[in-house]
């Protein structure tokens, strides 16, 4: 491509958009058409798609040739495209602005008439962003449309054949042929909306520009603000928006147009976007205690709508209330949960604060916590009624498995201020300890090894029970034994049982498994652990994936020890009357609930305490060399899943 310099060296204004500069050069420096200047620059030879998208991303050879012709460096020319915004406010692929990052503008622009008056024909790059709504130089709302035809100014990116002043509107106002240009001047608008430098609207514009230029995760922050704006629009509470944006409510009437799909597009009007963005930034980053009532009001002002079955939550649930806010980041998610905390159950707060979709949850480290938090940590951190021990153990195990330690923001919706502080302190200590002294059990490896195995055969179960002087029972007890062994080895929840041992679900599965667990004797538990040690050693030795030999010496069960200085909400797991519990267990008519009432502890505490210290039968027991037995008979129905 020839690169002969132009007779007049053109200039490039600060933040000027490249196609705007070409139009301005044609009019201001050469008084010719865009087509003539493009031919002189040899840009007319470019394929039409590349020419149209020159302001988005210009190919390097084009920038080099244009630099040789204009005397402007290729770096400055590239900075005049939208490339500097790539990954920060938009995403560019193959020379086009993509729509998968949230709100974007592919065509069109806003503008400031006063900027045009000072710099005729200079369209600024940032005006093309959805997030531009205020001119911070002149403290006025940007204009969306031409004062003459009331339509948005059209983009001029091709090879136009007529002389055209870029400070005027080039929209076609004719309903037929030939085309008739509007030609209204864009450097003067009779009426304008101004804002004070210290107003929430101007502050929001400055904050959004800082997010785009400085934030570590700008697209996530902008997506959060977009979700807040979508919820505010859907609620339609002009009084709340007017109050927080410090904008007269009468000036906002008619600007908050309804959406068929909430949050799918930004408000069309710049003033409406300015007011909503001011509120959104304030709710996201303002003093929390001051904005918390407004977050709650905005949540419940929105009218409920039918909830499809496929979304995975029901109407009025905490998950639905969170979904009102689009895709909030951790900070906004926590603020919403704290604001509506009194309106939802503690269990809903816990699940909503800690459970994440697998697609967005960070990967767990190789040696991580089990699926259920260790019982000696779960009991003293249980907040009591309203939140089940099972839900809490699942949620806190996910917290410990998070390598990025996001839990200070993920559990903030749980309990009162003291409870949150205590929980955060305890889990911080546990998270740190798990990294400084790695967990000696590879739970993920165990799940893989045991998946597809029936765990224990009927013959081995009977032998194990005979050695411990226990009743092996019938087929149902064998099924419960297989469940118990799998869960004891993996530390997982019953919902994760593999299909090989799960069988058909029954109404009383949970109750039967609980009854099975609290009726085990210390001798039978020792036998179970000995069997699991032999089974795991046997599975490791014949694992085709070559499990390292060190895993064969893993303990069957393990839990990080608690220190006397560790924070706690409730009693420790061993702060319980074991003697009375063991005595009542000998009377097989006593239920778990009645035992819990007798010792003044929760049923969950009693069950976990029994698991940690089962009662002794007082009968002599014998030991079986399960490693040798399993080597001769091979593991039961072992099947490895890659």
Least confident of 33-37, 159-163, 500-504: 500-504
Q: Which pLDDT band holds residue 633 (cuts at 50, 70, 90)?
A: confident
- Residue 640: predicted pLDDT: 34
Token pair of 241 as six digits = 């928006």
**Which whole number is the average pLDDT over 260-282?**
93
In angstroms, the CA 195 to CA 203 distance is: 10
- Residue 642: predicted pLDDT: 32
Q: Which pLDDT band holds residue 350 (cuts at 50, 70, 90)?
A: low
**Which whole number is the average pLDDT over 310-337?**
81
Q: Is the CB of residue 626 less than 8 Å from the CB of residue 530?
A: yes
Give the rounded percent of residues in the chain with a pLDDT score beyond 90: 59
**Which whole number is the average pLDDT over 162-186?**
93
In angstroms, the CA 212 to CA 26 distance is: 32
Q: Is the CB of residue 361 less than 8 Å from the CB of residue 398?
A: yes
Give the rounded percent of residues in the chain with a pLDDT score beyond 70: 88
In angstroms, the CA 72 to CA 55 distance is: 16
**Which whole number is the average pLDDT over 517-533?**
94
In angstroms, the CA 392 to CA 632 distance is: 42
pLDDT higher at 187 or 363: 187
Q: Which pLDDT band holds residue 315 (cuts at 50, 70, 90)?
A: low
- Write out pLDDT tens, residues 582-620: 999 988 778 899 999 999 999 999 999 999 999 999 898
In angstroms, the CA 528 to CA 463 distance is: 11
Token pair of 254 as six digits = 């008619």
**Which whole number is the average pLDDT over 55-81?**
95
* Phi, psi angle pair for 92, to nearest 5°: -110, 135
Determine if the pTM surpasses 0.85: no
**Which whole number is the average pLDDT over 556-563?**
91
- Residue 575: predicted pLDDT: 94
- Residue 499: predicted pLDDT: 84
- Residue 86: predicted pLDDT: 96
Q: Which pLDDT band holds residue 359 (cuts at 50, 70, 90)?
A: very low
- Please work out, in degrees rounded to the nearest 5, the angle formed at the alpha carbon of residue 557 by the alpha carbons of 555 and 560: 95
List all residues 6 or more positions away from 574 whose beta carbon is below 8 Å from its beta carbon.
Answer: 609, 612, 613
Least confident of 292-296, 392-396, 434-438, 569-573: 434-438
- Write out pLDDT tens, residues 379-417: 999 876 667 888 888 888 887 887 655 554 455 445 666
CA 450 to chain centroid, in Å, comes to 32
- Residue 314: predicted pLDDT: 63
Cis peptide before 57 (omega within 30 of 0): no
- Residue 549: predicted pLDDT: 43
Residue 331 has pLDDT above 90, yes or no: no
Which residue in the block uniquely carries the two structure tokens 């928006």? 241
Sketch the domain layout of the chain as residue ranges. Answer: 1-123+141-188, 200-343, 347-436, 443-574+613-633
Residue 157 has pLDDT above 60, yes or no: yes
Cα distances from 287 to residues 292, 334, 335, 482, 591, in angstroms, run 9, 14, 11, 53, 50
Q: Which pLDDT band holds residue 99 (cuts at 50, 70, 90)?
A: confident
- Residue 547: predicted pLDDT: 46
Least confident of 264-268, 303-307, 538-542, 577-581: 303-307
Averaged pLDDT score across all residues of the chain: 87
Cα distances from 306 to residues 160, 257, 297, 320, in angstroms, run 50, 21, 20, 11
Token pair of 58 as six digits = 């210009």
In angstroms, the CA 576 to CA 583 distance is: 13
List all residues 6 or more positions away from 585 whose beta carbon is below 8 Å from its beta carbon.
Answer: 518, 519, 595, 610, 615
- Residue 636: predicted pLDDT: 63
**Which whole number is the average pLDDT over 62-87?**
95
Residue 106 has pLDDT above 80, yes or no: yes
Residue 146 has pLDDT above 50, yes or no: yes
Q: Which pLDDT band holds residue 430 (cuts at 50, 70, 90)?
A: confident
- Residue 311: predicted pLDDT: 60
Q: Is the CB of residue 637 less than 8 Å from the CB of residue 500?
A: yes
């Amino acid at each position: 491509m020839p690169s002969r310099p132009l007779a007049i060296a053109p200039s490039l204004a600060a933040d000027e958009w490249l196609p705007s500069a070409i139009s301005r050069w044609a009019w201001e420096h050469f008084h010719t058409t865009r087509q003539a200047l493009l031919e002189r620059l040899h840009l007319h030879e470019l394929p039409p798609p590349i020419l149209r998208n020159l302001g988005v991303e210009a190919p390097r050879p084009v920038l080099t040739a244009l630099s040789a012709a204009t005397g402007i460096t290729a770096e400055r020319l590239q900075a005049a495209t939208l490339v500097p915004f790539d990954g920060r406010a938009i995403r560019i692929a193959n020379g086009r602005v993509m729509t998968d990052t949230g709100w974007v503008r592919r065509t069109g622009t806003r503008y400031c008439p006063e900027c045009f008056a000072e710099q005729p024909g200079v369209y600024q790059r940032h005006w093309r962003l959805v997030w531009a709504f205020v001119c911070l130089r002149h403290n006025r709302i940007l204009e969306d449309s031409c004062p003459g035809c009331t339509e948005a100014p059209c983009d001029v990116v091709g090879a136009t054949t007529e002389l055209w002043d870029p400070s005027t509107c080039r929209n076609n106002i004719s309903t037929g042929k030939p085309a008739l240009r509007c030609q209204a001047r864009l450097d003067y608008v009779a009426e304008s909306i101004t804002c004070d430098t210290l107003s929430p609207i101007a502050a929001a514009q400055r904050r959004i520009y800082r997010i785009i230029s400085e934030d570590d995760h700008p697209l996530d922050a902008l997506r959060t603000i977009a979700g807040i704006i979508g919820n505010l629009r859907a609620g339609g509470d002009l009084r709340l928006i007017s109050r927080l944006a410090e904008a007269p409510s009468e000036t906002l009437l008619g600007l908050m147009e309804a959406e068929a799909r909430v949050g799918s597009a930004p408000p069309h009007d710049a003033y409406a976007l300015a007011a909503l963005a001011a509120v959104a930034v304030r709710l996201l980053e303002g003093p929390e205690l001051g904005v918390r009532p407004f977050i709650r009001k905005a949540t419940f002002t929105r009218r409920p709508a039918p909830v499809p079955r496929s979304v995975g939550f029901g109407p009025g649930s905490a998950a639905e209330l969170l979904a009102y806010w689009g895709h909030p980041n951790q900070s906004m998610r926590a603020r919403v949960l704290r604001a509506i905390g009194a309106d939802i159950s503690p269990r809903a707060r816990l699940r909503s604060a800690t459970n994440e979709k697998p697609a967005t949850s960070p990967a767990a480290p190789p040696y991580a916590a089990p699926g259920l938090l260790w019982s000696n940590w779960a009991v003293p951190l249980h907040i009591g009624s309203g939140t089940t021990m099972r839900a809490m153990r699942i949620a806190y195990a996910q917290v410990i498995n998070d390598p990025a330690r996001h839990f200070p923001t993920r559990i903030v919706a749980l309990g009162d201020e003291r409870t949150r502080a205590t929980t955060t302190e305890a889990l911080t200590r546990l998270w740190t300890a798990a990294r400084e002294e790695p967990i000696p059990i590879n739970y993920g490896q165990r799940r893989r090894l045991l998946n597809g195995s029936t765990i224990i055969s009927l013959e081995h179960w009977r032998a194990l029970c005979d050695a411990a002087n226990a009743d092996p029972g019938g087929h149902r007890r064998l099924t419960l034994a297989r469940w118990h062994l799998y869960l004891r080895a993996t530390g997982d929840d019953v919902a994760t049982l593999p299909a090989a041992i799960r069988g058909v679900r029954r109404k009383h599965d949970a109750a039967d498994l609980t009854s099975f667990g609290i009726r085990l004797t210390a001798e039978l538990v020792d036998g179970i652990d000995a069997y699991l040690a032999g089974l795991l050693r046997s599975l490791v030795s014949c694992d085709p994936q070559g499990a390292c030999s060190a895993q064969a010496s893993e303990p069957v069960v393990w839990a990080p020890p608690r220190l006397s200085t560790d924070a706690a909400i409730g009693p420790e797991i061993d702060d319980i009357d074991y003697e009375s519990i063991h005595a009542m267990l000998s009377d097989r008519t006593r239920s778990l609930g009645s035992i819990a009432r007798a010792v003044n502890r929760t049923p969950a505490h009693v069950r976990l305490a029994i698991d940690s210290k089962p009662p002794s039968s007082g009968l002599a027991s014998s030991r079986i060399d399960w490693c040798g037995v399993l080597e001769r008979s091979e593991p039961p129905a072992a099947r490895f899943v890659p």
